[in-house]
Structure 1
Amino acid sequence: MSAALGAATEAPRRTRRDVVRAYVALTKPRIIELLLVTTVPAMMLAQRGIPSPWLVFATLFGGTMAAGSANALNCVADADIDAVMKRTSSRPLPKHQVPTRNALVFGVTLGVLSFAWLWPTTNLLAALLSVAAILFYVLIYTMVLKRRTAQNIVWGGAAGCMPVVIGWSAVTGSVEWPAFVMFGVIFFWTPPHFWALAMKFRDDYARAGVPMLPVVTTPDRVARQIVTYSWVMVAWTLLLVPATGWVYTAFAVVTGGWFLVVAHRLYAQTKRGEPGKPMKLFHMSNTYLTLVFVALAVDSALGLPVVGWPF
């Protein structure tokens, strides 16, 4: 009887596919997808056309390993937080699907491989920038800012802006002003994007002791900050107009207006004391960023005349 009970309660044996899926989950593939969506357009703008397919592949492959490294190491550092948040409790480490030591080795190995790959296949600058992004995300954002300041995502989000700079440098071997502008677009997009998510999962962050802005202030003040950053972001996208054509310009104006309408609507709702619909802004922010950078890619591929370079 006891033997039968033991067999019944024995944990199911994990297959090789389950193990692979757990390690892939450590890299947070959905986040990587969004990063890659911005990298290719950055490379196309740098080329003002379509770069070598091999160079695009090499950059994306190396960038995927770099982002996977940062995300896996983030999972290791945040394992205690993830375990108490409903949104993240199903990640591999809280579910004990991957030993912590193995996850650490996996993350470090991916980072080393990304540098070893990007240097010979692109250039040293792109490889160094990828390492800098990993170190900033893990050491500065995850281990210092995230648990100490409500402005964590503002400055920590800079790591997520690096793929456009890496993509540009992979093509040109340098970093020029359009790369900094694209960096800024994502930099100012990040707070509205993540604060909207944090408004929805405020209790999760509070339970984990993470001082995200919605945890430490009222919803209407968070929404007001979202509106402020949204206006700066939309204005910042227009700084690329001198390096682009009418396709990008039209999409930047139209989609920017759409973003501002949704942000202002959220602020109006919270100001009236209503819960609002922050996840609507969160989901549309992904669509917005994708549309802006796809428009940038199309504009570059068409090789349309540019308004003019400032210098």
Structure 2
Amino acid sequence: MDVTVAPQLDRSPIGFRRKARAYLALTKPRVVELLLVTTAPVMILAQGGIPDLFLVFATLLGGAMAAGSAGAFNCYIDRDIDRLMKRTSNRPLVTGELSDREAVVFAWALGLASIAWLWFTTNWLASALALAAILTYVVFYTIVLKRRTEQNIVWGGIAGCFPVVIGWSAVTESLSWEAFILFLVVFLWTPPHYWPLSMKYEDDYAAAGVPMLAVVRQRSEVGLQVILYAWATVACSLLLIPIAPMGVVYSVVAVAAGAWFLWESHRLYAHAIREGEVRPMRVFHSSITYLTLVFVAVGVDPLLPF
């Protein structure tokens, strides 16, 4: 009989630096970094050039705080299943570096500070969108969807799309088709980005009772879904070319990077249906590179004369 052994709490004294690192880990900094990659380039596109640098700083800081707050709430709410998964066994609420009270107070403080900061340094729309992003991730994804449906990451991924519209609204105080297209790019990109990760850690999710697609479906089915969403992502990214309109740099990068993303997705599916060695993290890492290249091109393209 399998017995899940809870991780041992670290009872050694916790100094200032260790406590600070624990608070930083609570915000999921790698996720925050990826979200900010989609914010600054969109601000350049919205401006048609380099926006006011303080506005860029204020938007990135506010967005980072909002994303960090959502991540901290997620760690607090999911602390029970984090104790069951190897992938999350080093999170500060699992190791005991932070108490539940410290985590939830930090999450509330950071979230309220982000909304107030964006309200006073950018505009009400960017602030309201940051609030919507936090609520979407914490309530819609973490509380409602994550433990109930295999489509959790599809609709829960909406939260990760908000930095695009926050950046656009910070510059223009409005939203437009360009912002919605890029919002949709991130929305469609999220499943083929996250499902390969869930394939690698499917045993973790199964142990925790989280119905990620890789837990409840065959690998071949997951691979097919990755392909379909990858194609939809690349097709949507190309819609920006006539709408914005975008120039040569974005067009070349969107096509080339998209082709590479599709190639890796098809390789994953091919190995899955042959029941060979599946390397889902190749698609996971390539998806990050793909999104980064596309959004860097979004920011560079308006600065060039062609």
Interval containing the TM-score (normalised by the shorter chain): over 0.9
Distance 1:11 1:111, change over 3 A: closer
Counterpart residue number, 2:266: 264
Indicate whether 1:179 and 2:186 are aligned.
no
Cα distance in structure 1, aligned partners of 2:228 and 2:175? 28
The 5 A counterparts of 1:32-51 are 32-51=32-51
- Output the amino acid matched with 1:283: H
- Output the amino acid matched with 2:277: P
Offset from partner CA, 1:110-134 (integer Å, 9 cap, x none) = 1100111001110000000000100
Offset from partner CA, 1:122-150 (integer Å, 9 cap, x none) = 00000000001001100010001000000
Cα distance in structure 2, aligned partners of 1:43 and 1:179? 10
The 5 A counterparts of 1:1-311 are 11-242=11-242, 243=244, 244-302=246-304, 304=305
Cα distance in structure 1, aligned partners of 2:49 and 2:235? 25
Runs of 4+ in 1 over 6 A off after TM superposition: none
After TM superposition, give the deviation of residue 169 of structure 1 in Å: 0.2
Cα distance in structure 2, aligned partners of 1:34 and 1:138? 18
SS at match of 1:275: coil
Offset from partner CA, 1:157-200 (integer Å, 9 cap, x none) = 00000001000000000011111000011101100110000000
Q: How many residue pairs align between the two structures?
A: 295
SS at match of 1:229: helix
Cα distance in structure 2, aligned partners of 1:300 and 1:130? 26
Cα distance in structure 2, aligned partners of 1:11 and 1:292? 45
Cα distance in structure 2, aligned partners of 1:250 and 1:75? 39
After TM superposition, give the deviation of residue 275 of structure 1 in Å: 3.4
Q: What's the TM-score, normalizing by structure 2?
A: 0.95
Q: What's the TM-score, normalizing by structure 1?
A: 0.94
Cα distance in structure 2, aligned partners of 1:175 and 1:81? 38
Cα distance in structure 2, aligned partners of 1:76 and 1:291? 33
Larger-gyration structure (1/2): 1
Cα distance in structure 2, aligned partners of 1:13 and 1:146? 35
Offset from partner CA, 1:228-287 (integer Å, 9 cap, x none) = 000000000001102111100110000000001110011011010113110011011111
Cα distance in structure 2, aligned partners of 1:300 and 1:92? 42
Cα distance in structure 1, aligned partners of 2:30 and 2:116? 24
Offset from partner CA, 1:61-91 (integer Å, 9 cap, x none) = 1111100100000000000111100000100
Cα distance in structure 1, aligned partners of 2:302 and 2:286? 24
In the alignment, is the contact (CA less than 8 A) between 2:14 and 2:97 conserved in 1? no
Unaligned runs of 5+ in 1: 1-9, 306-311
Unaligned runs of 5+ in 2: 1-9
After TM superposition, give the deviation of residue 44 of structure 1 in Å: 0.6
Cα distance in structure 2, aligned partners of 1:301 and 1:81? 46
Cα distance in structure 2, aligned partners of 1:228 and 1:287? 19
Query: Between the two proteins, what is the percent identity of the paired residues?
Result: 60
- Output the amino acid matched with 1:117: W
